[in-house]
Amino acid sequence: MARIDPSECSINQVAFLDMLAVSEGTIKYGDDDGYNVIVGGTLFDSYADHPRKLIELRPNLASTAAGRYQLLSRYFDAYKVELNLPDFSPVSQDKIALQQMKECRAIPLIEAGNLAEAIARCSNIWASLPGNNYGQHQNALAMLSKAYTDAGGIIS
């Protein structure tokens, strides 16, 4: 479950964060709800900073994605300054993902229970969401809806 203070966001926003972790596949690895996962499934052991490891996933595809929401290191650097974050801890990762959701203008849709449109708005951030052209595996809306409602989210 997301670690952000519940007073900082709604139940639907927490459910969306938890759905993202299911979609990105990070919760399958390790014992910290996916917060310490490097792309490809290896783990890192310090939240002091983004692990900054470039992993070759296949020919012509390498990534520095890490954490529960698979954030690239270059984006972490920008969000760390913008949000005045001390580290790459679970709470910092949650705050970054929420900021990305805000930037996609998905928060009002999440609050209204319009999950399909919220996912579509965020698909340019998370490659595992349907509706982008990154050429990676995309999860079905039905699976994402189940993960969202299992996490307590309400769909209208």
pLDDT in tens, 78-115: 999 999 999 999 999 999 999 999 999 999 999 999 99
* Residue whose entry in the numeric block shows the structure tokens 């919220």: 118
Task: Tell me, yes or no, whether 143 lies in a domain.
Answer: yes
Task: Tell me, yes or no, whether 3 lies in a domain.
Answer: no
Going 4 to 79 to 99 to 46, the CA torsion angle's sign is negative
Measured CA distances, 15 to 3, 4, 43, 76, 124 (Å): 12, 12, 24, 22, 19
Task: Tell me, yes or no, whether 114 lies in a domain.
Answer: yes
Task: Tell me, yes or no, whether 37 lies in a domain.
Answer: yes
Q: Is a pLDDT exceeding 90 seen at residue 121?
A: yes
| Domain that includes residue 92, residue range | 9-150
Exactly one of 24, 56, 82, 111 is catalytic; name it: 24
What span, in angstroms and rounded, lies between the C-alpha atoms of 134 and 90? 26
Q: For 64-73, write each residue's pLDDT tens digit.
A: 999 999 999 9
Contact 20, 26 (CB under 8 A): no
Q: Is a pLDDT exceeding 90 seen at residue 124?
A: yes
- Long-range CB contacts (within 8 A, 24+) of 47-54: 47/87, 47/88, 47/89, 47/90, 47/92, 48/87, 48/88, 49/87, 49/88, 50/76, 50/77, 50/88, 51/88
Task: Tell me, yes or no, whether 104 lies in a domain.
Answer: yes
pLDDT for the residue numbered 134:
83
Task: Tell me, yes or no, whether 79 lies in a domain.
Answer: yes
pLDDT for the residue numbered 133:
86
What span, in angstroms and rounded, lies between the C-alpha atoms of 7 and 82? 21
For residue 8, indicate whether it is catalytic.
no
- Neighbouring C-beta atoms of residue 48, cutoff 10 Å: 10
Task: Tell me, yes or no, whether 1 lies in a domain.
Answer: no
Q: For 6-61, write each residue's pLDDT tens digit.
A: 899 999 999 999 999 999 999 999 899 999 999 999 999 999 999 999 999 889 88
pLDDT for the residue numbered 58:
86
Scanning 25-89, the segments in alpha helix (DSSP H) are 73-82
Task: Tell me, yes or no, whether 57 lies in a domain.
Answer: yes
* Residue whose entry in the numeric block shows the structure tokens 């299911």: 22
**Count of structural domains within the chain:** 1
pLDDT for the residue numbered 129:
97
Q: What is the CATH number of the domain that holds 106?
A: 1.10.530.10
